[in-house]
Amino acid sequence: MDTLDGLLHGLSVAVQPINIGAAFAGVLLGMLTGVLPGLGTVAGAALVLPLTFTLDSPETGIIMIAGIYYGAMYGGSITSILFKVPGEAASVVAAMDGYELARNGRAGPVLGITTIGSFVAGMLTAVVVTFFAPALAELGLAFGPAELFALVTGSLLILATVSGGGLASNLVPLGLGLVVATIGQEPVTSISRFTFGNGELSQGIGLVPVAVGAFGIAELLFLVSGKRGNGTTTKVRVRDLIPSKDEVRRSVAPWLRGTGLGAFLGLLPGPSAAVSAFASYKAEKSISKTPSRFGTGQIEGVSGPEAANNAASTSSIVPILTLGIPFSSTLALVLSAMIIHGVQPGPALITNDPDIFWGVIASIFLGNLMLVVLNIPMIGVWVRLLSTPQHVLVTGIVALSVIGAYSVNNSMLDVYLLVVFAALGYVLRTYGFQMAPLILGVALGPFLETYLRQGLALSRGSVPDLLAGSSISLTVWILVALAVLGAPTVRFLRRRRRGVKESTRV
Amino acid sequence: MSEAESVGSQRKGRAAVGAAVLAFSLAYLHQASSLSIGTAEQPGPALFPLAVGGFLAFAALVTLVEAWRGISRDETVDLPHGTGLVRVIGLAVSIVAYVLLLPMLGHIVTTVLFCTVSLRLLGGKSWLWAVIGGLTIGIAMNLVFVNALGVPMPEGLLDI
């Protein structure tokens, strides 16, 4: 099936009434959980993804999953702009100039600009994805266990070094996540490990209790301990969303630049949605004739990063489809939901399951369209939702989280684990540790172990062969080394040069 | 809390986390060593846990060294105090009680109880409003998730 046929086939799957309904419901649920302050994208997605398990057909389930993903990623920006409570790193940038604009009475137009920008970025990136994904899947076929081992290890290392907050702040939660992943039946011979005779534990610890506990409940504990959010309580009506001509004119170039940056960065390992938003903000600031006005409410500081953020979220679907590797915590949940639907993403997906592969691609177009269609009439509802009193919000979310954790396996064990990970997440975050590596450790641990053991078996136990046996693995390791060691080396050299200059001056 | 105290408690806290994680990783490595390691060509179930345990121990040591040398000193910790502390502890205790009582009393009873206590604790309004709110949220959740979506939550005392 060539690309155009595939896309048409995918669209024919996606426009079936049940699938349009699924996309609609997914985007709505995703936006709802993304908007709720204190829940955040990861915990929100973790809570609503189990709802897709009630759907029978895997295509419909996956279209809904994709809808939840886009909805949640976008919903986070609304909260960030109106309340300055970014639910995750990727929406931090939106809060910088967006919140200032909202405070100056431009809340509606800013949301209008981000909606259009996200739509433009999503659609353009979807076109890129359509034409690149099949080619990348072909490349992905050349990846054996050794190459995948290099890629997964590499992406975890890159994440740990670029996420910020110091090395230990990332390594400790990553290690804990990997430890959690070893609990239960091991992936090769199904021997139970670290279960202490508990039958339920032998199934392993799922992502939902970990993500909802460490991100959701822990966040609520922070919310009730601190100051209350002081958002703009202004009403936003549909006609308020229309930006001025000047605002649109100033946003077109940032939208396009942001899309380019985001679409490219989304293909690479690492927290690409957040990185691309920051990169776009920096780019817009350095191009601007009035860089000093950034941070006080410049529309370019919102339109660029929001387009970049959405483009990166869209193109980061590609590594999932073609390699089966998620590069962010939300995508890790998306991947695990796909696996529960009986779909094993990877390079073989395009040939084994063209319905799913092209269905997902088509759902990117559908999801982005839904986002605009839903956002415009719903904006008033979202804004009102944001002014829900904190005590009602926190109480409701806890009750919802308990049901969410229980419903995945109908098991109390998951509810107990939810509380354990909430406590762990609260303590770790209090002392500045990052939570994303924890989730990725849990999600990627089983893959890492399988690739390592299969890789060793294929290389007949030779570690050098495992690491450098093929040109692909060698290239991956070199790129990872450059990414991990590059920035610190440059910083070290710069500091040394400055040191030399200073000493010669003396 | 003063800036210096805050930085001090950040360092102490991170050192404590590092020490706890180190102890945990050693216990984990001890458990892992009882599994079969296999051969290089046919690695057994112990290989990956041993590697992961070693990695975690290393991460714990990095945390201890960073805390000792004061590397992450620019981050200040914002520990809750005063009413904030009361609210955090109150909510945490209510959540634990909710989860422990859930299998015994059932979903609807514990959810109503939890919501009432939580609304009273965090909202600061009268008990009457909290009870009304608790009943509303608890029953609504039960209707939507248990009755409509068919999530088989523990029934306990009331089989509705």
B40 contacts A461? CB cut-off 8 A: yes
| Contact list, A166 vs chain B (CB under 8 Å) | 66, 71-72, 75
Cβ contacts of B87 on chain A, cutoff 8 Å: 224-225
Q: Is A277 helix (H, G, I), strand (E, B) or coil?
A: helix
Rounded Cα gap, residues A327 and A268, in angstroms:
8
User: Given CB atoms, is B43 within the 8 Å cutoff of chain A?
Assistant: yes
Is the Cβ of B132 closer than 8 Å to some Cβ of chain A? Answer: no
Structure-token match 């939106």, residue found: A94
Residue A92 to residues A80, A271, A274, A302, Cα–Cα distance (Å) = 7, 13, 8, 11
Tokens standing for A15?
């426009």
Among B21, B85, B118, the residue with its CB nearest the CB of A225 is B85
Compute the distance between CA of residue B76 and CA of residue A216 in angstroms, rounded to an integer. Answer: 22
Interchain contact A458–B (C-beta under 8 A) = no
The count of C-alpha atoms lying within 13 angstroms of the C-alpha of A44, restricted to the half-sphere facing its C-beta, is 28
CB contact under 8 A, A226 and B80: yes
Reported pTM: 0.85
Among residues B127, B43, B143, B132, which one has the least CA distance to residue A455?
Answer: B43
The contacts found for A280-285 with CB under 8 angstroms, 24 or more apart, are A280/A93, A280/A254, A280/A304, A280/A305, A280/A307, A280/A308, A280/A309, A281/A93, A281/A96, A281/A305, A283/A257, A284/A254, A284/A257
Per-residue pLDDT tens listing for chain A (506 residues): 678 888 888 888 888 898 889 889 999 988 888 887 767 778 888 888 877 877 878 888 888 888 888 888 888 788 788 877 666 667 778 888 888 888 888 888 888 888 889 899 999 999 988 888 888 888 888 888 898 888 888 888 877 776 666 788 889 999 999 999 999 988 878 888 988 888 888 888 988 899 889 988 988 898 888 744 444 455 666 677 788 888 889 999 999 999 999 999 888 877 778 888 888 988 888 888 888 888 888 899 889 999 998 999 889 888 888 888 888 888 888 888 888 888 878 888 888 888 888 888 888 888 888 888 888 788 778 877 777 888 898 999 899 899 988 988 889 999 999 999 999 999 998 888 988 889 889 988 988 998 899 899 888 888 888 888 888 888 888 888 887 787 677 777 777 777 665 555 54
Using the beta-carbon criterion (under 8 Å), do A395 and B119 form an inter-chain contact? yes
Does A197 contact chain B (CB < 8 Å)? Answer: no
Test B119 with A392 for CB contact under 8 angstroms.
yes
List CB contacts (< 8 A) between A168 and chain B: 14, 18, 59, 62-63, 66, 72
Helix (H, G, I), strand (E, B) or coil at A238: helix
User: Chain A contact for B99, CB < 8 A?
Assistant: yes
CB–CB of A399 and B111 under 8 A?
yes
Contact between A151 and B54 (Cβ < 8 Å) = no
